[in-house]
């Protein structure tokens, strides 16, 4: 073996060691992140299987004697109603918002009418307005119309999401106009063009939008806290943090709260598993 080859071998060995080190480093980092990402989920599930007092005594470990008592107390406290409220509000809004955004997104891309560009620009410009800005005005005006503490106050204001309009339009811009024009030449009306041609084309973006809208509605907190916090319509997100002991009302009942958190997480996990691809593409949409 010549000296040069030996040197080459040593260098290759060095590269290999460095590659191995890099690999170990990568996996160590990923493992750390995975543990940190999953730990709160573990904590929620583990503590939901303990009684309220058991959580206080042993908040971090496995349940010594797993029990569903926290779940039954949660039901006894009427929290199933809150869960159903959340489901009603989030799913209704999602279906409506997807339909309405798709309709408008189509018109803003493929139909021509005076003022189209200006109206669209005006809508996009409002994307920076924080949700809290409209709350006082909305509250004062809609209190007079007796909308407070209803379902519609949680649903109707969110049926026209500007980001949804934006997503649909971005997607349709890449669809050639000739498809629409050809159908129009064949004598198809705008409605049948919309239903038979545009909606099928839009399917992936509508799935992504639906998932995003559901996630957003499921997470909404400040709006229902202000507008709809009575137990017959309030969503789970608003009622969960208020679960305290019945006598003094100051000690949080963590067993029940964690059981309720499982309820709050399950629908999102189901949506995630079912629509994983739409989920990720929805998240990365504004980026493309």
In the window 244-273, what residues touch another protein (CB under 8 A)? 244, 249-250, 252, 254, 257-258, 260-262, 264-265, 268-269, 271-272
Q: Please state, in angstroms and rounded to a whole number, the distance separating the CA atoms of residues 276 and 269.
A: 10
Measured CA to CA, the distance from residue 179 to residue 194 in angstroms comes to 11
Cβ 135 to another protein shortest distance, Å:
6
Contacting another protein within 142-171 (CB under 8 A): 143, 156-157, 159-160, 162, 165
Scanning 7-15, 75-83, 179-187, 202-210 for contacts with another protein by CB under 8 A, the matching segment is 179-187
- The distance of closest approach from Cβ of residue 95 to another protein in the complex, given in angstroms and rounded to an integer, is 13
Q: Which is nearer to another protein, 1 or 114 (CB)?
A: 114
The HSE-up count of residue 287 (CA atoms within 13 Å, CB side) is: 6
Q: Phi, psi (5° rounding) for residue 49?
A: -95, 15
Which residues within the stretch 68-97 sit at the binding site for another protein (CB under 8 A)? none
Q: How many residues bind another protein (CB under 8 A)?
A: 109
Contacts with another protein, 205-244, as mask; x by CB under 8 A: ----------x--xx-xx--xx---------xx--xxx-x
Task: Name which of residues 24 to 63 contact another protein (CB under 8 A).
Answer: 26-27, 29-30, 33-34, 36-41, 43-44, 47, 55-60
Considering the rule CB under 8 A, would residue 204 count as an interface residue with another protein? no
C-alpha torsion angle, residues 194, 196, 199, 200 (rounded to 10): -160
Least distance between another protein and beta carbon 261 (Å): 4
Instruction: Return the residue of 65, 113, 146, 247 that touches another protein, per CB under 8 A.
Output: 113
Answer for the pair 271, 89: CB distance below 8 angstroms, yes or no: no
Task: Please answer whether residues 142 and 157 qualify as being in contact, where contact means their C-beta atoms are separated by less than 8 angstroms.
Answer: no
In contact, 254 and 241? CB cutoff 8 Å: no
**Rounded to an integer, what distance in angstroms lies between the CA atom of residue 150 and that of residue 47?**
33
Whose Cβ is closer to another protein: residue 2's or residue 144's? Answer: 144
d(CA 236, CA 147): 20
Beta-carbon contacts of 260 under 8 Å, excluding residues fewer than 6 positions away, are: 74, 79, 83, 236, 239, 240, 243
């Amino acid at each position: 073996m010549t000296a040069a080859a030996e040197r080459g071998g040593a260098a290759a060995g060095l590269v290999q060691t460095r590659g191995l080190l890099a690999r170990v480093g990568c996996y160590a980092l990923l493992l750390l992140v995975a543990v940190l990402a999953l730990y709160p989920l573990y904590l929620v599930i583990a503590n939901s299987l303990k009684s309220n007092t058991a959580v206080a005594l042993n908040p971090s470990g496995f349940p010594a004697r797993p029990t569903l008592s926290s779940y039954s107390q949660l039901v006894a406290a009427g929290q199933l109603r809150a869960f159903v409220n959340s489901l009603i509000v989030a799913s209704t809004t999602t279906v409506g918002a997807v339909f309405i955004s798709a309709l408008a997104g189509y018109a803003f891309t493929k139909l021509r009418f005076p003022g189209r560009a200006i109206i669209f620009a005006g809508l996009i410009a409002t994307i920076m307005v924080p949700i809290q800005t409209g709350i006082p005005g909305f509250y004062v005006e809609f209190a007079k119309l007796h909308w407070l503490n209803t379902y519609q106050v949680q649903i109707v204001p969110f049926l026209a999401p500007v980001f949804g309009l934006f997503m649909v339009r971005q997607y349709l811009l890449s669809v050639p106009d000739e498809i629409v024009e050809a159908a129009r030449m064949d004598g198809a009306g705008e409605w049948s063009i919309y239903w038979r041609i545009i909606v099928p084309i839009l399917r992936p973006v509508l799935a992504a939008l639906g998932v995003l809208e559901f996630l957003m509605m499921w997470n909404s907190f400040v709006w229902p806290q202000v507008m709809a916090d009575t137990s017959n319509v309030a969503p789970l997100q608003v009622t969960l943090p208020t679960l305290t002991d019945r006598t003094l009302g100051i000690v949080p009942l963590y067993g029940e709260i964690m059981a309720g958190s499982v309820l709050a997480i399950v629908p999102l996990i189901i949506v995630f598993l079912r629509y994983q691809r739409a989920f990720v593409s929805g998240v990365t949409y504004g980026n493309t």
